[in-house]
Structures are given as C-alpha cells and as structure tokens.
Amino acid sequence: MEFFRSTNIDWLSKKWYLLAFSLIFSIGGVLSMLFWHGIPKGVDFTGGTQVTVHFDTTPNEDHIRSAMDTAKVRDARIQRISGAAGASSSNVIISLPMSSAQDTQHDQGRAEVESALTANYHDSHFEVEQVDIVGPTAGKQLVSQAQLAVLYSLLGMLAYLWFRFELIYGVAAVAAVFHDTLITIGAFSLTNQEISLTVVAALLTLIGYSMNDTIVVFDRIRENLADNRREPLADVVNRAINQTLSRTVLTSGLTFLTVLCLYLFGGEVLHGFSFALVIGILIGTYSSIAVAAPMLVAYQNWRASKGKSASLPAAKPTAPRPTTR
C-alpha cells in the first residue's frame, strides 16, 4: 500500500496562504491571551488548593456551590470533569485560590472543603480522590522551573542544529517550534483550559516532536543540496518536502492516532496533556513544511538581495555510521 507515490506540489508558491493561516491562528491565540482568557494557569502555578471529589451520584453543581457558600469557603470554583470520551462524570474539581493564611495553615483549604461537603452530603456518599495544595513559594518556583526548562531545551536544540547543520537551520527550526508552542498555548487560552505541569510536559513533547519533523525535512534539503548545487534553493526545498511527504503524513498520522487514543480513553488526568498533543501534532507537522522550510528560502533570498553569496553554506559531514556493517 502506498499513499503518495510521487507528489509534486509547489509548496513555496503557497507561502502567503500558509503565512496567513499561521498568522490567523497565532494572532487569535495571542489576542485571547491578552484580552480574553489570558493564559489559564492551573493550581500548579498560581498556588492554591484543588480538591477532586468523586460523588456516588452525579451531583448538582449549584448545590455544591451553595454548600461552599453556606460554609463560607471563599472564592471556591466548581468545575465538573468530563470523563472518558467526553461523557459527563460524577467527578468535580473544587479549586480555591491561594490564601494568605496558606503559608502557616497549609491544609486549611482542604479542611474547609471537606467539612462543607460532609455537612451537606452526609447521606449521599462522596470520596475525596485527589488533593493538590501548592503554596506560594512552590508555585513561583514551578513557574520559573517550567520556563527555564523550555528555554534551555530550546537553546540545547539550537546549539545542536548549529553544530550539525548551520545556524540558519537552527534558527528556522526554533522559530517553527516557537510558532507551534504559541498556537498551542493560544488554543488553551481560547478554550479556557488550565495549563498544569503535565501540560507543560506535553508542550515539551510537542517541541521535541515538531523539531523531529523539521529535522527530517532539513536533512533531505541538505542531502539534495549536496547532490545538486546548481538547482535553485526553492526547488531543492520543494523537492525535499515532497520526497518526505509520504513519511510525514504516515508518521504524523500514526502519532496522531496514538495521541487521539490517549485523548479519548486516557481519562481525566491526562485530558490537558493529550489535548495539547492533539493540537501540537497537527500544528507541528504543518509548521515543518509551512514555516521552517520557507524560512530557509527567505533567508537565502535576503542574503542574495544584500549581494552576498547566494547559496546556503555547504552541508556538514554526515553522522557517525551505525554499527550494522
């Protein structure tokens, strides 16, 4: 079986459509981050208390809310979790913002929620399944750690690509990955889903994945450049994209399949994680073709316009050979 035997699509001629597509999505996300939902940060980063409660029977959210109000639990946010495959479940997350007392009375929020629930649901059974309490220090620390982790891993990849290819390849790949992350975070903002530590892990996965995809195309460009130095770069790039298209679609399709399984059957705990990956795989695949590769051509055109050498710098030596011989 074979899906794409020999495609011959002129990707670069469509760059303005692709650019428009990227811009619409990134700007939409950025606008939402700036003016609408902001970046919805979970309790991992804001600090506070989050109690996940399982009820025997599907509870009424208003009833829980009034229970919290009666017990004077401040600013409680009630959120029903959608279960496997979107079915509504009888699990509810009750989140409290960080209180100034939390420094000394770490546990207070949980105790308040539990006693409010006991007072109102003593006859119908409920079970506290998960409690996350993040203090102010930890929240700040987790934010800065997550940011550092992302920053350093981007720098690490940039350095590696610089070493293995050329600086412009690294810059283009990192730009594409940045584009993907921006759009994915934008999707979280637009749908107002909270970003937790697990979602950060997913964003990092997406970065790795998108980078992977980009490198496959770049590698082919480098190889084609070595074969034929006279061919215009735009043609080389187009050919490389078409040559790897079959692989790109297959791999992305299969990865998307596994991630979709995770999204549909992985349960509530993995919901944010798999949502990020579902979006990320799609956008990551797209960006390696529509963002990273055209940047190489744009860079070369820019160099040519400034009267410098028109060709991309010569390819670097190949990787050490595998030990299969």
Partner 1 sequence: MGKNLTTKTWAILAILLVFLYGIFGIPHGGWKKSITDRIHLGLDLRGGTHLVLQVQVQEAIGSSTDRDMTALNTALAATGATATKLDPKVHPEVITINEPDSSKLSAVSTIVNDNAYASYEKQSNASGYTMTLTQAAQRDLADRTVETSIETIRQRIDSLGVSEPVIEKYGLGDNQILVQLPGVDDPARVENIIQSTAKLEIHEVVSGSPYPDAAQALTAVGGSLPPDEEIIMGSGSGAGPDQAWVLKRASIVEGTDFRGATAQQDENGRPDIGFTLTTEAGDRFYKYTDANKGTGSMAIVLENKVREVATIQSAIRDQGRITGGFSQQQADDLSLMLRTGSLPASIKYLETRTVGPSLGAASIHQGVMAAVAGLVAVLVFMLIYYKGAGINADLALLLNLVILLGFMGFTGATLTLPGIAGVILTIGMGVDSNVLIFERIREELRLGKTSAQAIQDGFDHAWKTIFDTHVTTIVSAGILFIFGTGPIKGFAVTLVFGLAANLFTAVFVSRVIFDYLLEKRGRTAPLSI
Give, as ranges, the residues between 16 and 75 that touch partner 1 (CB under 8 A).
52, 54
Neighbours of 161 (CB within 10 A): 22
The site map against partner 1 for 90-109 (x = CB under 8 A) is: -------------x--xx--
Least separation, in Å, of the C-beta of 297 and partner 1?
20
x-marked contacts with partner 1 along 207-246 as a string, rule CB under 8 A: xxx-xx--xx--xx--x-------------------xx-x
CA-CA distance, 278 to 286, in Å (whole number)? Answer: 13
The answer to the question of residue 282 lying near partner 1 (CB under 8 A) is no
Could you say which of 153, 167, 175, 303 contacts partner 1 (CB under 8 A)?
Answer: 153
Q: Does 135 bind partner 1 (CB under 8 A)?
A: yes
Q: By CB under 8 A, which span of 10-18, 30-38, 68-76, 313-321 interacts with partner 1?
A: 313-321
Beta strands in the chain (DSSP E): 48-55, 77-82, 88-97, 126-134
Using CB under 8 A, which of 67, 93, 117, 134 touches partner 1?
A: 134
Of residues 30 and 167, the one with the C-beta less far from partner 1: 167
Amino acid identity for residue 97 in this structure: P
At residue 11, φ and ψ (nearest 5 deg) are -65, -40
257 binds partner 1 (CB under 8 A): yes
Closest CA to 64 of 98, 128, 107, 113: 113
Q: Given the complex with partner 1, which of 132 and 235 has the nearer CB atom? A: 132
* Pick 243 or 300: Cβ nearer partner 1: 243
Could you give phi then psi for residue 150, rounded to 5 degrees?
-65, -45
Measured between alpha carbons, how far is 222 from 204 in angstroms, rounded to an integer? 26
Distance CA 120, CA 94 (A): 15
Residue with Cβ nearer partner 1 (235 or 268)? 268
CB 65 within 8 A of CB 76: yes
Using CB under 8 A as the criterion, what x/- string covers residues 171-210 for binding partner 1? Answer: --------------------------xx-xxx-xx-xxx-
Run of H or E including 182: helix 167-190
What phi-psi label fits residue 26: left (phi over 0), alpha (psi between -120 and 50 degrees) or beta? alpha
9 lies in the site for partner 1, by CB under 8 A: no
Residue 302 within binding range of partner 1, rule CB under 8 A: no
Query: Of the two residues 32 and 46, which places its CB atom closer to partner 1 in the complex?
Result: 46
Shortest distance (Å) from residue 26 CB to partner 1: 22
What is the DSSP track for 105-132? -TTHHHHHHHHHHHHHHSSS-EEEEEEE
For partner 1, which is the closer residue by CB, 124 or 258? Answer: 258
Using the rule CB under 8 A, is 77 a contact of partner 1?
Answer: no
Residues of span 109-128 touching partner 1 by CB under 8 A: 111, 127-128
Other CB atoms closer than 10 Å to residue 30's CB: what's the count? 15
Among residues 55, 188, 273, 275, which is the contact residue for partner 1, using CB under 8 A? 273
Which of 292, 231, 170 lies closest to 223, judged by CA?
231
Q: Report the sign of the C-alpha dihedral through residues 100, 101, 105, 107, in that order.
A: negative
CB 114 to partner 1: min, Å: 10
State the DSSP code for 93: E
> How many binding residues for partner 1 (CB under 8 A)?
80
Residue 244 CB, nearest approach to partner 1 (Å): 8
283 binds partner 1 (CB under 8 A): no
